[in-house]
Structure 1
Amino acid sequence: MTFVQLIDCKTTRFDEMNRLMDTWVEQTKGRRTATHNIIGKDRSDTSHLIEIVEFGSYEEAMRNSKLPETGRIFRDMVALCDESPTFTDLDVVRDEQLYAANVRRLFELAATEGDLPPLNDVYAESYHDHDPANEQDTIGLDAIRRDIRMWRGGFDFAFTIEDQISQGDRVSTRWTWNGTHKGEFLGIAATGRKVSMTGTTIFRFQEDGKIVEGWWQYDRLGLMAQLGALDALER
């Protein structure tokens, strides 16, 4: 997303405006170039609305404005406004998904050499972890610290973030993990092997930006095979 258009208007006919937007979405399905649409209502003046429309580029916004349905909807929207709406075209110079940035920071902290950082500025104290490798969910910051220390004790490792998708209070991250087996891990003595695995984690955030819940999926069986833990079963 590199371009945003702000539409500022005043209307006491919000329900009609809302239905008009639904009509535009339906009529331009498959052809509109807008990627995200938000309408905000002023808390101090409920007749004051600001619509935020995101586009991949200025050129895509111009293609969207040339759709015949867009022109008709605009004329209907003006008729619903108490005064003529104003438009502001913005080139995006910074777009930081703060929840996603917190996830990247968490992965960096987990892999940092030396003493484990406190983590209480990243995780909520009531953090609830769902990991299919564990018989029971991990609940509480102390428990997640123990899990991270177990991995740090067994490996020198680092994460590479491959993809991130943010929606509402959730961030989905596809990652690659690379490590060197330096210490005992789940009863397996250090092998010195270089190992890797891939996985995806979905984190849910609370309002203060701390992670309150997580769901993990990763190739733990592949990791155990790389450590030689499955050799006896294959014979």
Structure 2
Amino acid sequence: MEENKRKIDGAVRINKYLSQAGICSRRQADTYVEQGKVLIDGEVAVSGDKVMPGQEVTFCGKPVKIQENLIFLAFHKPRGIVCTSSKKEKDNIIDYLNYPQRIYPVGRLDKDSQGLILLTNDGEAANQIMKARNYHEKEYEVTVNKRITKEFLDGMRKPVPLDEIGAVTRKCKVTKEGPYQFRIILTQGLNRQIRRMCEYFGYRVTKLKRVRVMNIKLGDLKEGSYRELKGRELHQLREELDRESIR
């Protein structure tokens, strides 16, 4: 489909090229260029170089190409699956999906949690989605081990200090769904953030399910299944990412 084609007709800065190819972030690409690990048509690239159509790019001696056919998947991750592409992890998400083309997870969802995780071969889009400064919303349904109180909800909505990782959470939206259930919308992705926030107030998470990332919803997607993003859903996602890329 046309919406899943990447326009690669013009010149692309070398750091953006490596990012779109899924090698690394733009910032890391700049470092690799400075280290002399990137060549354009056999010549060592320098910061600011542009890649023209037809030119050959290599990274650490291996050819690098931008994928023209873009892949975006929404996957309902089961508990026990690890959001990594590392083959060293026997329960890694890539082996579990066994998708026929090279893709990787966008961000993470901890091993004990389930729900929506996006996967793509578009490194630039993945970096945009994961950038904390973009305040992208991620929505979760959470069950805890004891009755939810007003004090707990009020506390969760405010910045919470997470001393063990040296961070403070942003204000977030929290609504009670039942005696032991609540819904929370975050705009950052700190390590085990919701679990740590609950622990701060003396609660323990017994079930955590992510149901939305930006405009992409889990819906009725069955656990362990995936679907391709397309149509209006994909168009809205790419529109938002395109707006951010030119800010």
Instruction: Say whether the fold is shared (TM-score over 0.5).
Output: no
TM-score range for the pair, normalised by the shorter chain length: under 0.3
How does the TM-score come out when normalised to structure 2? 0.25
| Bigger radius of gyration | 1
| Bigger fraction of residues in strand | 1
